[in-house]
Every structure is written in structure tokens, then in C-alpha cells.
């Protein structure tokens, strides 16, 4: 095993007089305000923590906020009583291994490209934000310690590949979930430097602009001047530190942060207007569809990890949260609004990635916080059910057209190959090429092993 707490040669350099290491220096608040981090990728690769041949790997996590009904979509029970099976019928797919719902006809046409895991479950509370944190980090938060998002781990281990941030959330961070719990979309104990860049804008809008990636002539002069002054403060604070190798690394990171604002390439990656209208329409001219297209452009331009929140909150909008009556979504709303939008955008993304030669190195992981109750409720919907649900994966080394695990005859509990959130996160790490036996610098100075996220990746997806 490798221990990320063991100091690299750079860590042993002393800064600003006796008693201060580079690591301690980088924890100074003024640096955190700059959003600086020292890329770990070359060192991690040199130590064997990122496997050879995975330099170009990336991940797009589609988080189906609200909790889709596995029984109505991916794990149908046509032979169960009507109050279990619901109103929809299964259809054949391009895979001989499984059928899916008639609500996802385009999924059926590309079923040879993705594989289902029908035996997911967790023991967290049946509230949205409990599932959000567990499914995106692999663990339930305890003792005030927040585990980093899988994308934050990618940011730490792989670092920045271009002027763009290594980890981006589209269109913005999750909103309220009802449980008043951290949602897991943060750097956690890895620190603010590995928080995601959140777009905070709807890319389907005509006036879409990325707030901190405007052309240089549109960036207020006082904002740029403020950043220069911050750099001057750093210069004055460290004195003869500027002559060291660590100063060069710090400079590199300062300028990398500055380039995010001023880089033409970074701005261009967000420019959906550069796409032909036929391509934009292929994804769907809605928020989710354009986020999927933007995710493709971002990984194409070097972003390591993109998370797309299908919806922003379970309140005040149509989502996967199909309790059946207002203010929540009805079964009919899922059929007529949610599924067509989702089906179009997801299949366009997979096909586009494949056509551009990107799918082999880009995992697309479709996750959710839980499934829905096996029995239809009196309002015609289904309620929260973390005891069994389905997730699915494509690309990034995953073999398509397969099913892993199975639920019982009514979709209530796993019957074969139970899979927990940590296993799902470990599967993403496997695709990205991380050594599962490696360590991160954990809370309180204790090593945190990648095995602490989950016992094993879902190996059947790659065999």
C-alpha cells in the first residue's frame, strides 16, 4: 500500500523559516482563497497510484436527483400483481441480457453500450440528501467528517490537465433535499482546493455565460487587480521562499487559477454556440440536454470529472420524485416530461462520445440516491426506497449489454450480488485507473484508504 501522508521530496523543503513545511504553508487562508492546489497526478503516477494507460481517463456522473423508479424503468416486474408492476410494459433491447421500460425507447436501441446493476442498496435514511452523500462519496458522513466526492478524489490524484478545472458540476450544486444534510458535492477532508467548479448557469438559455470565464475585456479591472494584489501579499509573506522550487510550483498554480479566467481555450470549451444547431437539438434544447452536451465538450477539452445534476432540488419542479400528487411529480409527469427529456439526452451523449472516439476512455455513471417503493401508493406514485434500486454504467472500460445482480420478485431487496455505495464509487475509481490499495490524507492526519470507500469495484462490469 502507498501512504499519501508520506512526504514527497517537495514536502521536506522548509519554508518561511524553521518549522513550516510546504504542506503547512499551503493551508494558509490566503492561498485557499486563491483556489490553489498542487497537482498530485505526476507524483501519484510515479508512485504507481494511477495505473499506466489511464492518463486520458475521465468520468461523467449523471446524478438522477429525486430517485427514479427502478421498477418502472430498468428492473420491471411484468409478472407481479398490478399494484407492484405499475402501468408500464417492458420492451426488448439491443442486449439479449435485459429488457427495459417502454418509457426509454432510445435506451433500448443502445443497450449494448451500457450495463445495469440491479442490486444496489444502502442503509441510510430514506431522505434525499442522505442518499446523495452516500452515493457520491461512498460513505455516510459521521462525526462531523465529510468524505470527498469521487470527483474531488480524481482532482487530487489526477490534477489539472488543461486550463479548465479538473472537477466541474453542471448546471449547479444540488439544492435542498429535506434532510438538512451535506449533499456530498464537495472536497470534504481533501479541502476546498478540491471542491468542484459549479457552473451556476443554465446552458440552454440564450444569454448563457459562465460567470468567471468571460473574455478578458469583460472582466472588471478591479477583479483582476484584486487577484494581483493577493499575489503580491503572498510574495511579501514568504520572502526568500521565492527562490525555491516550491515557489515555482506555487507560481504554476497561481497562474493556472488565473488562466481559468482568461484562457481562450477554457472559454471556448463552454461555448455551446460553436456546436451546429443539429447537434444541440440532438441532445434536446433543455437544461439537462445542454448540460450533457457541455459535459462532452468539457471532457473533450481535458476535464477529469463532470457531474450533471439531472435536477436541482426535489421541490418546485418536475423530477424523478414521483410520489404521485402535488407538490411532487405524478407517474404521468414522469412519462410525458421526465423520461422523454432524459432518454434523448443520455442516448445522444453515449452515441456522440462513441462517434468521437471518447467513450472508451470516458465512463458515464448514472446514479441516484435510492429507488421507489415496490407497491404503488394511493396517489398512483411510489415513495422513497433505499433497500433496492438500479444504477448503470457505460464507457471507461465497462462492457455493455450486461446485468449485474438481481432483485427479488417484487424489486424490494437484492436477491443476488448486493452492491453498496462504496462499491459504486470504487468502480468509478477502477475506471479512472486508481490503485484501490492507495491512501489519501485523511481527517486528523490519519491515512484514508481507497478501500474505505468500498470493499471492491464491481469487477463483472469490466470482465
Confidence of residue 30 (pLDDT cuts 50, 70, 90): very low
Nearest partner of 291 among 312, 319, 320, judged by Cα:
312
Do residues 238 and 292 share a domain?
A: no
Question: pLDDT tens for residues 182-200?
Answer: 999 999 999 998 999 999 9
- Mean predicted lDDT score pLDDT of the chain: 84
Question: pLDDT tens for residues 314-369?
Answer: 988 899 999 998 889 999 999 999 999 999 999 999 999 999 999 999 999 999 99
Do residues 392 and 410 share a domain?
A: yes
CATH of the domain at 352: 3.40.720.10
Do residues 283 and 293 share a domain?
A: yes
Cell numbers given for 386: 433505499
Question: pLDDT tens for residues 82-121?
Answer: 999 999 999 999 999 999 999 999 999 999 999 999 999 9
Do residues 94 and 209 share a domain?
A: yes
Q: Which domain holds residue 121?
A: 41-213+264-461
Do residues 20 and 92 share a domain?
A: no
Do residues 154 and 16 share a domain?
A: no
| C-alpha dist (Å) from residue 31 to 23, 101, 132, 221, 238 | 12, 51, 30, 21, 12
Coil/strand/helix, residue 100: strand
DSSP string, 14-62: B-SSTT-BHHHHTTSHHHHHHT-----HHHHHHTTSB-TT-TT-EEEEE
Question: pLDDT tens for residues 199-242?
Answer: 999 999 998 988 666 555 545 554 555 555 655 655 555 555 45
Nearest partner of 390 among 12, 104, 25, 28, judged by Cα:
104
Do residues 17 and 144 share a domain?
A: no
The half-sphere exposure of 115 on its side-chain side, counting CA atoms within 13 A, is 22
Do residues 195 and 239 share a domain?
A: no
Rounded to whole angstroms, the Cα distance separating 153 from 195 reads 10
72 and 333 Cβ atoms separated by less than 8 Å: no
Do residues 62 and 168 share a domain?
A: yes
Do residues 22 and 154 share a domain?
A: no
Do residues 454 and 306 share a domain?
A: yes
Do residues 3 and 62 share a domain?
A: no
pTM of the shown model? 0.83
Amino acid at each position: 500500500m502507498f501512504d499519501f501522508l508520506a512526504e514527497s521530496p517537495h514536502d521536506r523543503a522548509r519554508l518561511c523559516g524553521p518549522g513550516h513545511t510546504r504542506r503547512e504553508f499551503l493551508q494558509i487562508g490566503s492561498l485557499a482563497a486563491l483556489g490553489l492546489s498542487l497537482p498530485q497526478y505526476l507524483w501519484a503516477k510515479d508512485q504507481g497510484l494511477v495505473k499506466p494507460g489511464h492518463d486520458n481517463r475521465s468520468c461523467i456522473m449523471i446524478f438522477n436527483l429525486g430517485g427514479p423508479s427502478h421498477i418502472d424503468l430498468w428492473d420491471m416486474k411484468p409478472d407481479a400483481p398490478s399494484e407492484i408492476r405499475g402501468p408500464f410494459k417492458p420492451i426488448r433491447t439491443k442486449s439479449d441480457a435485459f429488457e427495459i421500460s417502454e418509457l426509454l425507447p432510445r435506451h433500448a436501441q443502445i443497450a449494448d453500450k451500457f450495463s445495469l446493476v440491479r442490486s444496489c442498496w444502502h442503509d441510510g435514511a430514506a431522505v434525499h440528501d442522505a442518499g446523495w452523500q452516500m452515493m457520491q462519496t461512498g460513505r455516510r458522513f459521521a462525526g462531523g467528517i465529510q468524505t470527498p466526492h469521487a470527483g474531488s478524489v480524481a482532482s487530487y490524484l489526477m490534477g489539472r490537465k488543461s486550463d479548465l478545472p479538473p472537477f466541474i458540476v453542471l448546471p449547479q450544486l444540488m439544492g435542498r433535499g429535506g434532510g438538512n444534510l451535506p449533499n456530498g458535492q464537495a472536497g470534504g477532508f481533501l479541502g476546498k482546493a478540491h471542491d468542484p467548479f459549479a457552473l451556476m448557469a443554465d446552458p440552454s438559455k440564450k444569454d448563457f455565460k459562465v460567470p468567471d470565464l468571460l473574455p478578458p475585456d469583460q472582466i472588471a479591472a478591479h477583479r483582476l487587480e484584486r487577484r494581483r494584489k493577493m499575489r503580491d501579499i503572498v510574495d511579501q509573506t514568504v520572502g526568500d521562499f521565492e527562490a525555491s522550487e516550491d515557489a515555482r510550483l506555487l507560481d504554476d498554480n497561481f497562474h493556472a487559477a488565473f488562466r481559468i479566467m482568461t484562457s481562450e481555450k477554457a472559454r471556448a470549451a463552454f461555448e455551446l454556440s460553436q456546436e451546429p444547431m443539429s447537434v444541440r437539438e440532438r441532445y434536446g434544447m433543455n437544461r439537462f440536454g445542454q448540460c450533457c452536451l457541455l459535459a462532452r465538450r468539457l471532457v473533450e477539452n481535458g476535464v477529469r470529472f463532470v457531474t450533471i445534476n439531472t435536477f436541482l432540488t426535489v421541490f418546485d419542479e418536475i423530477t424523478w420524485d414521483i410520489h404521485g400528487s402535488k407538490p411532487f411529480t405524478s407517474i404521468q409527469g414522469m412519462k410525458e416530461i421526465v423520461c422523454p427529456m432524459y432518454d434523448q439526452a443520455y442516448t445522444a451523449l453515449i452515441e456522440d462520445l462513441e462517434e468521437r472516439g471518447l467513450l472508451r476512455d470516458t465512463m458515464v455513471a448514472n446514479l441516484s440516491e435510492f429507488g421507489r417503493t415496490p407497491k404503488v401508493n394511493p396517489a398512483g406514485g411510489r415513495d422513497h426506497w433505499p433497500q433496492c434500486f438500479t444504477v448503470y454504467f457505460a464507457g471507461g472500460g465497462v462492457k455493455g449489454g450486461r446485468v449485474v445482480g438481481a432483485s427479488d420478485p417484487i424489486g424490494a431487496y437484492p436477491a443476488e450480488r448486493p452492491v453498496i455505495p462504496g462499491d459504486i464509487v470504487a468502480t468509478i475509481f477502477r475506471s479512472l485507473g486508481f490503485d484501490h490499495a492507495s491512501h489519501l490524507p485523511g481527517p486528523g492526519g490519519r491515512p484514508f484508504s481507497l478501500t474505505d470507500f468500498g470493499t471492491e469495484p464491481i469487477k463483472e462490469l469490466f470482465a
